[in-house]
Amino acid sequence: MYYHCRSLKYVIYGKVSPPPLDTYDDFDLRLYKFIGHYCGFFPQVWLSRSHSSITGFRRNRRLKGSYYWAKCPGRRQRIKISKDNVLFGFDIIKGFPVSYCHWEGLMNTITDSDNFENQNKDITKFLNEIVDFYKEENEPLDGECKDWVDSGCNLDAFLKKYVFVERDQIVVPSLNLKSAKKIICRNEKQKKKLRKMGFIEDRIEIKNVMPHSF
């Protein structure tokens, strides 16, 4: 199943688009523009494949209050927890695939520049430097370093074979929420609002998942 998380105030019984550009920070804009060069559309609506835990719908049980600290490559960001989020599940969604672990590993490198050609050069340089470091330390290659070498240290081959492959994420230009086969909300109030919009009651589940871990 493919999962998409969205605040209830942005839910409609029909097709939704990505958030307005002015809601993104520079970090995110550079990332999504980079993907846009390869998938053909920008910005994107994101879905996770099989793993609802990477949608942002749940938070760690040890965290208290209305904020949590999110760890991203090269930064830590204080993100407000939305108790109004709703999780939509879809049987089949055709989109542009993105491997979560490989994408996360490249994020910080991509945002060093807002120029597409320079971003590609930065990725190549970054991966080559890591491989050289492992070789100098006589350490075995693993993760994206091993995949980089397996791709012949060729960026196009690396992206095609390891990064833009369907493992756990896809992006789409828009999403029809009406076609969701499963809808998970947190309380009866949310369920009532979803019913009034037109969503089928049998597809709506109430689950208080806030204490669960990511």
Judgement on whether residues 37 and 92 belong to the same structural domain of the protein: yes
- Residue 60, pLDDT score: 40
Q: Is 199 a domain residue? A: yes
Q: Is 26 a domain residue? A: yes
Q: Is 119 a domain residue? A: yes
Q: Read off the pLDDT band of 59 (50, 70, 90).
A: low
Name the pTM for this structure.
0.82
Q: Which helix (H) or strand (E) holds 204?
A: strand 204-206
Strands 15-16 and 175-176: antiparallel
Q: Read off the pLDDT band of 54 (50, 70, 90).
A: confident
Q: Which amino acid is at 168?
A: D
Q: Is 212 a domain residue? A: no
Judgement on whether residues 77 and 15 belong to the same structural domain of the protein: yes
Judgement on whether residues 15 and 63 belong to the same structural domain of the protein: yes
Judgement on whether residues 17 and 91 belong to the same structural domain of the protein: yes
Q: Which of 47-56, 75-84, 100-109 has the lowest mean pLDDT?
A: 75-84
C-alpha span between 206 and 32 (Å, rounded): 32
Q: Read off the pLDDT band of 82 (50, 70, 90).
A: low
Judgement on whether residues 7 and 93 belong to the same structural domain of the protein: yes
Judgement on whether residues 92 and 119 belong to the same structural domain of the protein: no
Query: pLDDT over 70 for what percent of the chain?
Result: 86
Q: Is 70 a domain residue? A: yes
Q: Is 19 a domain residue? A: yes
Judgement on whether residues 25 and 37 belong to the same structural domain of the protein: yes
- Tens of pLDDT, residues 139-188: 998 888 999 999 999 999 999 999 999 889 999 999 999 999 999 999 99
Taking 70 as the threshold, does the pLDDT of residue 34 lie above it?
Answer: yes
Here the tokens at position 132 are 């050289």
- How many Cα neighbours within 13 Å face the side chain of 62? 2
C-alpha span between 73 and 106 (Å, rounded): 8
Cβ count near 30 (within 10 Å): 19
- Residue 205, pLDDT score: 96
Domain hosting 36: range is 2-97+167-206
Judgement on whether residues 83 and 119 belong to the same structural domain of the protein: no
C-alpha span between 133 and 189 (Å, rounded): 55
Q: Read off the pLDDT band of 103 (50, 70, 90).
A: very high
- Residue 70, pLDDT score: 38
Judge contact between 214 and 63, C-beta under 8 A: no
Q: Is 213 a domain residue? A: no
- What region, left, alpha or beta, does residue 40 occupy, with left being phi > 0 and alpha being psi -120 to 50 degrees? left
Q: Is 146 a domain residue? A: yes
Judgement on whether residues 145 and 197 belong to the same structural domain of the protein: no
Judgement on whether residues 18 and 92 belong to the same structural domain of the protein: yes
Judgement on whether residues 83 and 172 belong to the same structural domain of the protein: yes
Count of structural domains within the chain? 2
Mean pLDDT of 191-214: 83
Judgement on whether residues 126 and 178 belong to the same structural domain of the protein: no
